[in-house]
């Protein structure tokens, strides 16, 4: 049989019928078993092709936070300075307001250790100067009142005197008119007497008496006229005095106004300087408060970005990174633009976190284990630099919570659930490269026209 010896045995010398195993093997027909296996596999494949399959979109992203103040925060120095002492190290937990480090001054404008006290003293002196200017302005306003009362009294006095002089002038005018009438009468009497004297009807004594009377009437006329002119001149003088009072008052008022305006200008300048000093003092106090860098909120010191004691840092330089203690985790994941029209808010997402073992059947999410449920919270309206659209996924409140041990920045693999279709449709779609089937069911009413 194997021909390994020189003693050869012919096949005709062996009787196969004496060996039942050989007879059974030679007579066995395997084609029927193969046919049954193929039929069974075909039936199972047909059944599998009609099983429901949940369409999905696979995407990758990382763990983030929803609100800006819960993201890792860079703590910066508001002022430049020299590091004098550290109070924390990486990994420490700090409360809001805890001191992180102490700085010392490096600018020569702030080297004076009594800078705040001296600035406050300048501020007090400037406030006193403004008070003095205010009192001076009040005094000048009182002087206005005094000048006004003095003018009013003088004017009232001259008005009374003016009225008296007008009455006196009127009386002198009437006396002058009477003296003129008396003079005219005396003149006519003298003329008649002189005419009679020429005719010899009157004596010289009578003529001389009339002439004397005429002279007296003329003297009285001149005297009353002089009085009338004097009273008229006095009336003019009183009017001039009234005008002088007004002019003197206006001159004094203008002079006082000039002084007042100058004082008010000095006061305004002092108030401007006071405002500058107040701003300067506030800046000094604020700078002094920032010699100690404090934590803006409670969290963990993750990374210190500057060196040790003695190093000089600039204004606005990042000193360290702080991870807030309280944060609401979300998942930032990215999808291709072709899948974006298929995604809507509030759709369910199955999430696999890095470091958490899981068995995933993307088409049968109910069979998957180790995944966590989420819900689409927001969809970006603009494309990201990586050519995809960002999707924000928050925890699904109706499912079991996400692990408490996950950290910001952890990687994720997300499965966005879409429609349920047969397996054969999904295979056909994959072969042709079509996007997942997308449709919405519209509820219609029988009464809809």
Q: Are residues 139 and 285 in the same domain?
A: yes
Q: Are residues 145 and 260 in the same domain?
A: yes
pLDDT value, residue 358? 52
pLDDT value, residue 184? 87
Report the alpha-carbon distance of residue 96 to residue 98 in Å, rounded: 6
Domain span at residue 167?
115-289
Q: Are residues 357 and 279 in the same domain?
A: no
Q: Are residues 284 and 144 in the same domain?
A: yes
Residue 255: strand, helix, or coil: helix
CB atoms within 10 A of CB 356: 16
pTM here is 0.54
Backbone dihedral angles phi then psi of residue 345, each to the nearest 5 degrees: -65, 150
**If you search the block for the tokens 């992180």, which residue do you land on?**
100
Beta-carbon contacts of residue 186 (< 8 Å; ≥ 6 apart): 210, 213, 214, 216, 217, 218
pLDDT value, residue 17? 61
pLDDT value, residue 446? 45
Q: Measured between alpha carbons, how far is residue 327 from residues 312, 333, 390 in Å?
A: 33, 18, 20
For residues 59 and 374, the answer to whether their CB atoms sit within 8 Å is no
| Radius of gyration for the chain, computed over Cα atoms and rounded to the nearest angstrom | 61
pLDDT value, residue 390? 92
CA atoms within 13 A on the CB side of 14: 9
pLDDT value, residue 443? 45
pLDDT value, residue 93? 92
Q: Are residues 185 and 303 in the same domain?
A: no
Report the alpha-carbon distance of residue 267 to residue 137 in Å, rounded: 9
* Domain CATH for 365: 2.40.30.170
Q: Are residues 297 and 275 in the same domain?
A: no
pLDDT value, residue 29? 58
pLDDT value, residue 361? 47
Q: Are residues 242 and 190 in the same domain?
A: yes
pLDDT tens series, the chain, 449 aa: 455 556 665 555 555 566 666 666 656 555 566 777 888 888 888 887 777 766 677 888 888 888 888 888 889 888 888 899 999 988 899 999 899 999 988 888 888 888 888 888 999 999 999 999 899 889 888 988 888 888 888 888 888 888 888 888 888 888 888 888 888 888 888 888 888 888 877 778 887 888 888 888 888 888 888 888 888 888 888 889 888 888 988 888 888 888 888 988 999 999 999 999 999 889 888 888 888 999 988 999 988 888 778 888 888 888 999 988 877 888 999 988 877 877 888 888 888 888 666 555 444 455 445 578 888 889 998 888 988 999 999 988 878 788 887 888 888 888 776 666 677 776 776 677 666 654 444 444 444 44
Domain count, the chain: 3
For residues 87 and 100, the answer to whether their CB atoms sit within 8 Å is yes
pLDDT value, residue 221? 84
Q: Are residues 64 and 140 in the same domain?
A: no
Report the alpha-carbon distance of residue 345 to residue 44 in Å, rounded: 38
Backbone dihedral angles phi then psi of residue 414, each to the nearest 5 degrees: -110, 145
User: What tokens were used for 379?
Assistant: 């969809």
pLDDT value, residue 98? 92
- Among 289, 307, 341, the domain boundary falls at 289
């Amino acid at each position: 049989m194997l021909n390994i010896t020189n003693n050869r045995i012919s096949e005709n010398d062996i009787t196969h019928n004496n060996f039942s195993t050989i007879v059974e093997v030679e007579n066995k027909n395997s084609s029927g078993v193969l046919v049954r296996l193929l039929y069974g596999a075909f039936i199972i494949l047909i059944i599998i092709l009609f099983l429901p399959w949940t369409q999905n979109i696979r995407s990758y992203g990382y763990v983030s936070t929803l609100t800006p103040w819960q993201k890792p925060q860079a703590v910066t120095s508001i002022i430049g300075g020299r590091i004098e002492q550290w109070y924390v190290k990486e990994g420490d937990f700090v409360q809001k307001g805890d001191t992180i480090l102490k700085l010392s001054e490096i600018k020569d404008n702030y080297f004076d250790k009594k800078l705040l006290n001296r600035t406050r003293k300048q501020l007090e002196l400037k406030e006193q100067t403004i008070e003095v200017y205010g009192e001076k302005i009040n005094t000048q306003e009182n002087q206005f009142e005094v000048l006004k009362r003095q003018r009013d009294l003088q004017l009232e006095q001259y008005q009374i005197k003016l009225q008296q002089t007008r009455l006196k002038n009127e009386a002198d005018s009437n006396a002058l008119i009477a003296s003129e009438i008396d003079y005219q009468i005396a003149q006519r009497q003298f003329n008649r007497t002189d005419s009679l004297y020429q005719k010899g009807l009157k004596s010289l004594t009578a003529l001389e008496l009339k002439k004397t009377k005429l002279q007296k009437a003329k003297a009285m006329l001149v005297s009353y006229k002089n009085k009338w002119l004097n009273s008229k001149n006095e009336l003019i003088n009183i009017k001039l005095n009234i005008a002088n009072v007004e002019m003197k008052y206006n001159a004094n008022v203008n002079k006082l106004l000039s002084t007042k305006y100058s004082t008010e200008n000095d006061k305004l300048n002092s108030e401007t300087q006071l405002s500058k000093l107040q701003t300067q003092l506030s800046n000094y106090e604020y700078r002094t408060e920032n010699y100690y860098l404090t934590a803006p909120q409670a969290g963990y010191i993750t990374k210190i970005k500057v060196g040790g004691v003695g190093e000089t840092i600039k204004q606005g330089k990042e000193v360290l990174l702080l991870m807030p203690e309280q944060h609401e985790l979300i998942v930032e994941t990215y999808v291709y633009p072709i899948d974006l029209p298929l995604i809507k808010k509030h759709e369910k997402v199955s999430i696999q976190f890095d470091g958490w073992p899981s068995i995933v059947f993307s088409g049968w999410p109910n069979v998957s284990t180790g995944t966590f449920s989420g819900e689409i919270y927001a969809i970006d309206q603009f494309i990201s630099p990586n050519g995809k659209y960002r999707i924000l996924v928050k925890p699904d409140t109706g499912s079991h919570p996400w692990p408490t041990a996950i950290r910001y920045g952890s990687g994720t693999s997300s499965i966005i659930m879409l429609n349920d279709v047969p397996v054969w449709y999904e295979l056909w779609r994959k072969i042709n490269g079509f996007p997942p089937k997308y449709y919405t069911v519209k509820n219609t009413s029988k009464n809809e026209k």
